[in-house]
Structure formats: structure tokens, C-alpha cells
């Protein structure tokens, strides 16, 4: 039976609400409570193990327990004092808290999430960490509730693969970034050799596998949305032909244009 986009979105929301409740109760979020998980994946492929010990030491325990990502975007985003950062799918707030510390009191770190339970957990974690420049917003990453050209950097940690309309996500990222702004995204990305059916055989949609883009699809989608200097770099394998990856791109300075229509490859966006 084919699952509709609305059903997939609700399944994602339900699973991540479950993960937030687990973390709030002192349990580690993981495969059994909604976390990303490929068939046969190791614990070190996802979550808190991808952060340095000193970073984990800066965070409330509940933020660490709620870590569900496939990378550490704050380590590659080159955040600078005074910048405005947006984390798409901010979950328990781990990357927003780390970003807020790096941009300092003169900067801001926005977190966007569609799950009430995650937003409540993230706000509590930011308060526990003494972070005053973190702002958590409810909404969908396909319709970012921020003005155009209002953000310097966009990060995300294993969330874009969960979207049911990836073309909308990429277009929205281009809209809210200022000219010269940049992406530093961690995501699960497939090798180009894998078909959508082959990706789905390696893990389910909520497990961050079945909905993953391939390298070529990511590059094509970001270029169509108006980005330049696109790169996709594998960091670690999470399943056969599926990798945790760092995705980077830049919005050209002074450029504001209507993105080109995205040519949809098999399984893309």
C-alpha cells in the first residue's frame, strides 16, 4: 500500500514526539523511540557519539539524550560572532544551543521544529543551559516562518531526508538566506547507484533512509534553487551505499532570483 505525504509527515511527527518524551524522561532516544536508524546501523552512526566530549559537556543531559542526528553541523558551519543561524528540524535543541554559544550574545540561533514535544524540550534545555539568544519556532521546514534574506547560516542534522517535499525545503533555504549566506548541513545521502527502491530496502522513511536523496539529486536540487559551490562529502557509511554526509553550498552575494524549476530525478524531492 502506498503511503501518502500526509501520512508520512504524521508518522515522522509521532515518532519524534515519542523521542522527545523519552529524552525528557531521562531515556536515550534511538531506533526504538523514533531516532534515525538504518538496518544494521551501529550506535556510533547516529546521535550523541558524533559530538566531541567537550561539546557534550556544554549541554544539558536531556539535550544529549535527544540527539538523533547523523552528524555535527556546528563543527562544519564555521559560525562567527554576531551571525544569525537557523537550524531546520531543531529537535531537542542540541545544535541550536551549540550555535548560540558560537555566535555569542550579539548573534541569534533559531530552531525550527514541527513537533510540540520537541519544542518544549528544546526550550527547557536552552533555559537549563543559560542560553538567552536561542529562539524556537513551530513550523514546517517546507514553509520557514522567517522573512526573506534574514539568516546568515542554515544548519540541519539528518532532517531534510525526512521531508516529503525536498524541493520546497531547498527553495525556502535560498529564500531566507542573505546573499553570501551559506549552508552547513548534515544528512543521510545515497550513492547515485542506488534506486529509490534500493534505498527503501535499507531502512524506513522515519529511520532517515528511504527518503534520502542521492549525491546527484542533492547537487541538482541546490543548483536549481540558486545555490553555488555545492559539495556533498561522505563522512561515514550507515548502510550499504548510504552515508552520513556534509552538504555545503553558498547563496551568491547580491543574487535574488526565482529558482529554476527542479528537474526531478528518480526519487528526488
Q: How confident is the model at residue 8 (pLDDT cuts 50, 70, 90)?
A: confident
Region 5-250: CATH code: 3.40.50.150
Q: Report percent pLDDT > 70 for the chain.
A: 75
Q: What are the residue ranges spanned by the domains of the chain?
A: 5-250
Instruction: Using the structure block, give the residue that is written with the C-alpha cell 524549476.
Output: 261
**Helical segments of 66-154, H only:** 94-103, 116-128
Q: What is the pLDDT of residue 178?
A: 97
Q: Which residues of 111-121 are buried (b: 16+ CB within 10 A; e: fewer)?
A: bbbbbebbbeb
Separation of alpha carbons 81 and 133, rounded Å: 12
What is the DSSP-derived secondary structure letter of residue 78? -
Instruction: Locate 203 and state its grid cell.
Output: 531502512
189 beta partners: 243
Which own/partner contact pairs does 231-240 have at CB distance under 8 Å and 24+ positions apart? Answer: 232/189, 234/189, 235/71, 235/186, 236/45, 238/38, 238/41, 238/45, 238/46, 238/70, 238/188, 238/209, 239/38, 239/39, 239/40, 239/41, 239/202, 239/203, 239/209, 240/202
Mean pLDDT to the nearest integer, 94-100: 91
**Number of C-beta neighbours around residue 255 at 10 A:** 12
- Find out whether 29 and 68 touch, Cβ atoms under 8 Å: yes
What is the DSSP-derived secondary structure letter of residue 51? S
Separation of alpha carbons 9 and 205, rounded Å: 10
Select the more confidently predicted residue: 252 or 57: 252
Counts of helices then strands in the chain (DSSP H, E)? 8, 7
Query: Which pTM value belongs to this model?
Result: 0.82
Q: How confident is the model at residue 10 (pLDDT cuts 50, 70, 90)?
A: confident
Q: What are the backbone dihedrals phi and psi of residue 150, each rounded to the nearest 5 degrees, phi first?
A: -115, 0
Residue 69 exposed, middle or buried by CB count within 10 Å (0-12, 13-18, 19+): buried
Separation of alpha carbons 59 and 93, rounded Å: 10
Q: What is the pLDDT of residue 148?
A: 97
Order of strands across the sheet that contains 177-190: 134-138, 108-113, 84-88, 151-157, 177-190, 242-250, 228-239
Q: Report percent pLDDT > 90 for the chain.
A: 50
Q: What is the pLDDT of residue 15?
A: 80
Mean pLDDT to the nearest integer, 19-44: 55
Amino acid at each position: 500500500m502506498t503511503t501518502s505525504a500526509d501520512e508520512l509527515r504524521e508518522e515522522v511527527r509521532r515518532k519524534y514526539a515519542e523521542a522527545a518524551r523519552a529524552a525528557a524522561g531521562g531515556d536515550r532516544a534511538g531506533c526504538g523511540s523514533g531516532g534515525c536508524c538504518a538496518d544494521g546501523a551501529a550506535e556510533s552512526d547516529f546521535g550523541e557519539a558524533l559530538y566531541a566530549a567537550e561539546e557534550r559537556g556544554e549541554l544539558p543531559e536531556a539535550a544529549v539524550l535527544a540527539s538523533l542526528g547523523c552528524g555535527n553541523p556546528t563543527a562544519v558551519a564555521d559560525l562567527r560572532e554576531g551571525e544569525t543561524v537557523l537550524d531546520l528540524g531543531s529537535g531537542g535543541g542540541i545544535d541550536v544551543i551549540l550555535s548560540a554559544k558560537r555566535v555569542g550574545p550579539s548573534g541569534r540561533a533559531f530552531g525550527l521544529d514541527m513537533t510540540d514535544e520537541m519544542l518544549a524540550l528544546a526550550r527547557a534545555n536552552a533555559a537549563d543551559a543559560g542560553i538567552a539568544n536561542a529562539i524556537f519556532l513551530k513550523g514546517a521546514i517546507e514553509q520557514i516562518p522567517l522573512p526573506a534574506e534574514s539568516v546568515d547560516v542554515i544548519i540541519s542534522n539528518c532532517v531534510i531526508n525526512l521531508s516529503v517535499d525536498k524541493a520546497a525545503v531547498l527553495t525556502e533555504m535560498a529564500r531566507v538566506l542573505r546573499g553570501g549566506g551559506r549552508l552547513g548541513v548534515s544528512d543521510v545521502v545515497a550513492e547515485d547507484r542506488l534506486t529509490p527502491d534500493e534505498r527503501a530496502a535499507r531502512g524506513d522513511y522515519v529511520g532517515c533512509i528511504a527518503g534520502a536523496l542521492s549525491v546527484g539529486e542533492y547537487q541538482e536540487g541546490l543548483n536549481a534553487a540558486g545555490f553555488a559551490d555545492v559539495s556533498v562529502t561522505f563522512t561515514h557509511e550507515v548502510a550499504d551505499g548510504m552515508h552520513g554526509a556534509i552538504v555545503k553550498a553558498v547563496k551568491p552575494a547580491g543574487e535574488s532570483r526565482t529558482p529554476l524549476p527542479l528537474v526531478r530525478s528518480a526519487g528526488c524531492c
